Structure 1
Amino acid sequence: MAGLFRKVYDWLLKTFWATQMDVTMIGLQNAGKTSLLRVLAGGEFTIDSIPTVGFNMKRVQRGHVTLKCWDIGGQPRFRTMWERYCRGVNAIVFIVDIADLNVLQQARDELHALMAQSSLNGIPLLVLGNKSDLPEKLSVDELIDALDLKSIGHREVCCYGISAKEETNLEAVIQWLMKWANR
């Protein structure tokens, strides 16, 4: 009987109170965007993920909220599309490989150029330092400084250290995103 009640309750939630959010995940190539999205959508982490060519979309369901997540390729030829896919979304997620110190300046430059677009004013930004499971990595405070996140205005900015591989802090990421569902 409890199983039947749960099915009816879930159907009512999805039918009458379901919320869909649009989230765009961006970052330089090899930051772990596709791996993170695969894990968030209930899949398993794979070490041999191929680079995203163009974009990839998956839905992540949590309770009555569906996160429609766009994973946009991070190679230079796709970065011109970032702004277009970020317009009008509930949140922007910028993913950085915190174990690759050689790309931090480029990541900072790309992020600040994107956040300077007036079409994106007011859209919350979540910066994720991925690969926190690796030994040589930046802390969250070091990442905030390296990307100069405190200078980004016209929006709420949040930063977490995560590991898609170890699934570290992923529930906190989902909770942060879900708070923007009804805004």
Structure 2
Amino acid sequence: MLQKFANWFRELFFGKELEIALVGLQNAGKTTLVNTMATGKFEEDTIPTIGFNFRSVKKGKVQMKMWDVGGQARFREQWEKYCRSADVIIFVVDAQDQGNLDIARQQLNQLISWPSLEGIPLLVLGNKYDLQGCITEQELITQMNLNSIKDRVVACFSISAKKNSNIDEMLKWLSKLQRKNK
């Protein structure tokens, strides 16, 4: 009870702090998203994440500690380790790469099946929606079978990390999340 009061008091006067795990297949745009959120601009020379990157980003009253975890097959087993202490899991999908949607769905289902991740809110982002041939937000919800997930809060947004589009909607959603007691 005292911890809940302290968290409420801190958020009221000092803002909110969230620990976020960003996961998804390679080339989905996780690092681009983190960099765009941090600097407000797109950097052309983003290299693939090997292992993980950590970045602290403040947007308004929300301080986000972001774990950007590599999406190559060899790093996917580590996703659970980074996600278990997170307040929210952000799963980034390349909305233009329809050939990898089945693999993305399988990896998401495997990830959220871990008992240690039970109840952690999930935000699925369809990145690159500014490009021709990408799927819509509703198609992403259907393709990723998000309506079947019942054990946690789930949201989905189409974004463009490169163009910094719809990031504000994602941030509004994140700012409304309750931090889990640690």
Amino acid in the other structure paired with 2:83: C
* Mapped pair 1:80 → 2:77: yes
Within 1, Cα distance between the matches of 2:36 and 2:178? 20
Mapping 1:68-107, distance limit 5 Å:
68-107=65-104
Moved more, 108-117 or 61-70: 61-70
* Mapped pair 1:156 → 2:153: yes
Q: Of 121, 125, 129, which residue of structure 2 is paired with 1:124?
A: 121
**Bigger Rg, structure 1 or 2:** 1
Give the match for residue 6 of structure 1: none
Amino acid in the other structure paired with 1:170: I
Identity across aligned pairs (percent)? 46
Alpha-carbon offset, residue 181 of structure 1: 4.5
Within 1, Cα distance between the matches of 2:68 and 2:144? 21
* Mapped pair 1:28 → 2:25: yes
In structure 1, runs of 5+ residues without a counterpart are 1-12
Q: CA RMSD in A?
A: 1.6
TM-score w.r.t. structure 2 length? 0.88
Give the match for residue 114 of structure 1: 111
Q: Of 51, 59, 64, which residue of structure 2 is paired with 1:67?
A: 64
Count of residue pairs brought into register by the alignment? 170
Give the match for residue 6 of structure 2: none
Moved over 6 A (4+): none
Amino acid in the other structure paired with 1:123: I
Give the match for residue 140 of structure 1: 137
Q: Do 1:65 and 1:181's aligned partners in 2 also have CA atoms closer than 8 Å?
A: no
In structure 2, runs of 5+ residues without a counterpart are 1-9
Q: Do 1:20 and 1:181's aligned partners in 2 also have CA atoms closer than 8 Å?
A: no
SS at the partner of 1:80?
Answer: helix
TM-score w.r.t. structure 1 length? 0.88
Alpha carbons of structure 1 residues 31 and 55: separation in structure 2 relative to 1, 3 Å: same
